[in-house]
A = this chain, B = another copy of it.
Amino acid sequence: DQHLTLLAGPCAIESYEVCAQVAEQLKNLTDELKINFIFKSSFDKANRSSGSSDRGAGLEKGLAILDRIKKEYQVPIVTDVHESYQCQPVAEVADVLQIPAYLSRQTDLLVAAAKTGRVVNIKKAQFMAAGDLQGAIDKVIPYSNKILLTERGTMFGYHQQIVDMTNLLQLRQLGYPVIYDATHSVQVPGGHGNHSGGNRDFAFPLMRAALTIGVAGIFAEVHPNPPTAISDADNQLYLNKMRPILTTAAALFSQYQDQKESWDQDGLL
């Protein structure tokens, strides 16, 4: 595509109101900036560090909210699935089914997602090299070739995560559009003992880096008031900062598109 893709929204479906506020503003902004916008939010935080953390709206209520957002704001939807049985009902609403990073080796889940015919967004696990995602791709392609590959950072010791930007280059070679997840990549796993912390300030600089290296899209958690969010409070982006962030992102995307042929000819891509 000639336009940047953006998968964004609040981490968890906290309420219709929060979803609607984010969807409306991002829809307007991305229309203006010619960015392909896909609204993202999770109906279930199925792998919270702690069992007593809020898990969000749940499957039924969550899908109803996503469906309302989809219709009211005319935006496609991406959300994640955690067990095989969820794929069918989720696919009735979501245009993109996302495989969480920890689950990216679960054959049954990948197959069930692929069989829905929806796009499957596979997040590369934090313990995986880029090439290892070929195994996940091979599980999907007998049923569907609508695949996205998302980089969301790599474990580096205990309670630490880094982004190895060469993964973007290597994922690209697998032949599917590569998305850079700008906010989970700056998580600090276990950073607050019983829940994850994050370095929100690193999200925009690393997003710029990914875009100048060359990606098809950006994934970002965006919230009207991140510190009050029920999850990823330390790394979600502020909704009211998305104008300068997305303006830069769209410009860097275009810049890469403009130069890639010339770099390719010079053997420099």
A-to-B contact residues, CB < 8 Å: 46-52, 55, 82-85, 102-103, 105-108, 110-111, 125-129, 131-132, 134-135, 138-139, 142, 154-160, 162-166, 169, 186, 189-190, 194, 199, 201-202, 204-206, 208-214, 241, 244-245, 248, 252, 259, 262-263, 266-269
Contact between A241 and B212, CB atoms less than 8 A apart:
no
Give which listed residue, B52, B155, B208, contacts A212 with CB less than 8 A: B208
A173 to B214, CA, bound (A): 27
Known: A162-B164, A164-B164, A205-B212. 13 other contacts (CB 8 A): A46-B107, A48-B135, A103-B103, A154-B162, A155-B155, A162-B166, A166-B202, A166-B206, A169-B201, A169-B202, A208-B213, A212-B252, A244-B262
The residues of B that contact A134 with a CB separation of less than 8 Å are 194
With contact pairs A162-B162, A190-B132, A205-B165 given, residues A83 and B105 touching in the complex (Cβ less than 8 Å):
no
CA distance A121 to B24 in the complex (A): 46
- Give chain B residues whose Cβ lies under 8 Å from the Cβ of A155: 127, 155
| Cα–Cα, bound, A247→B85 (Å) | 46
Let me know if B106 and A165 touch, CB within 8 A: no
Docked CA distance A211–B163 (Å): 16
A77 → B minimal CB distance (Å): 22
With A and B bound together, what is the CA distance between A18 and B250 in angstroms? 42
CA of A241 to CA of B208, assembled, Å: 24
Instruction: Give the residue of B190, B212, B269 whose beta carbon is less than 8 angstroms from that of A209.
Output: B212
Return 28 A-B CB contacts under 8 Å, by A number.
Answer: A47-B107, A48-B105, A49-B132, A50-B138, A51-B107, A55-B107, A83-B83, A83-B85, A83-B108, A102-B105, A102-B106, A103-B103, A126-B127, A129-B158, A129-B159, A131-B190, A132-B189, A156-B156, A156-B164, A157-B157, A163-B165, A165-B165, A204-B263, A205-B214, A209-B213, A212-B252, A244-B266, A248-B263
User: Shortest CB–CB separation between residue A262 and chain B, in angstroms?
Assistant: 7
In the complex, are the beta carbons of A106 and B46 less than 8 A apart? yes
How far apart sit A244 and B49, CA to CA, in the bound complex (Å)? 40
Most B CB atoms within 10 A — which of A189, A212, A244? A212
* Beta-carbon contact of B132 and A204 below 8 Å: no
**A139-B51 contact in complex given A162-B162, A169-B205, C-beta closer than 8 Å:** yes
Q: Which residues does chain B contribute within 8 Å of A142, judged by CB atoms? A: 51
Question: What distance in Å separates the Cβ of A113 from its nearest Cβ neighbour in chain B?
Answer: 13
- 5 smallest CB-CB distances across A and B, nearest first, come from A157-B157, A209-B209, A51-B139, A129-B158, A47-B105
